[in-house]
Chain A
Amino acid sequence: AQSVSQHNHHVILSEAASLELGCNYSYGGTVNLFWYVQYPGQHLQLLLKYFSGDPLVKGIKGFEAEFIKSKFSFNLRKPSVQWSDTAEYFCAAAKGGKSTFGDGTTLTVKP
């Protein structure tokens, strides 16, 4: 069965710390990969996506992710987090009409 797993359910960092959120997927064949963010009280919105090409993709607000095919991973990174990055982060995989989301990681950034 298709699945997406996120390694950390709750991460607490101080401002300026570096961030890495792990994501592994289990899907047959080629899939498209996404990271979405849900700020408190707001809609889910896209941070970045990977379809093909350069495995290092850059998204909004200084986020980036690296697709490693051999590890079935798509980890999210940010060199220096800000208090405004406090949110819930979801990794997702999609193939055709089916989309599978991870359980989410709640990031709390302390000022």
Chain B
Amino acid sequence: EAQVTQNPRYLITVTGKKLTVTCSQNMNHEYMSWYRQDPGLGLRQIYYSMNVEVTDKGDVPEGYKVSRKEKRNFPLILESPSPNQTSLYFCASSPASGTWGNEQFFGPGTRLTVL
């Protein structure tokens, strides 16, 4: 089944404890992206990757890191989480589309709480 998977689905952690949220897709998509969803703010893009070893900042990259060493994986790293990073996180992927963005396929979301 074509899908985007995220792990963990739920995570409660404490301030300053490094964590990684994994994202994997099995559709051979070139493009992957991370978003956070907060009430009343919609989805805001954190980072995106157009292909392996190519990453770029979205609108809210502060406090996050990403890497794209393999085409299928795009982990999101919080080196020192803070309470304002409590949110619902979505990973998405899409096939390459040249200059313009293509439709994205979303994972199930990771609900992160930072105490």
| A interface residues with partner B (beta carbon < 8 Å) | 6, 9, 30-32, 34, 36, 43-46, 49, 51, 90, 92, 94-104
Once the chains are docked, how many angstroms separate the CA of A74 from the CA of B59?
A: 22
Cα A84 to Cα B92 in complex, Å, equals: 25
Question: In angstroms, how far is the closest chain B Cβ from the Cβ of A95?
Answer: 6
A-B complex: 8 closest residue pairs judged by Cβ atoms? A94-B101, A101-B43, A103-B42, A44-B106, A101-B42, A97-B48, A32-B100, A43-B106
Q: Is the CB of A9 within 8 A of B40?
A: yes
Chain B residues with CB under 8 Å of chain A are: 31, 33, 35, 40-45, 48-50, 56, 58-59, 90, 92, 97, 99-104, 106-109
Residues of chain B within 8 A of A46, CB atoms compared: 103-104
How far apart sit A31 and B97, CA to CA, in the bound complex (Å)? 12
Report 28 cross-chain contacts, Cβ distance below 8 Å, ordered by A residue: A30-B100, A32-B101, A34-B103, A43-B107, A43-B108, A43-B109, A46-B103, A90-B43, A92-B43, A94-B100, A94-B102, A96-B50, A96-B99, A96-B100, A96-B101, A97-B48, A97-B56, A97-B101, A98-B48, A98-B58, A98-B59, A99-B33, A99-B58, A99-B101, A100-B59, A101-B35, A101-B43, A102-B42
Q: Known contacts being A98-B58, A102-B42, A103-B42, is A49 close to B103, with CB within 8 Å?
A: yes
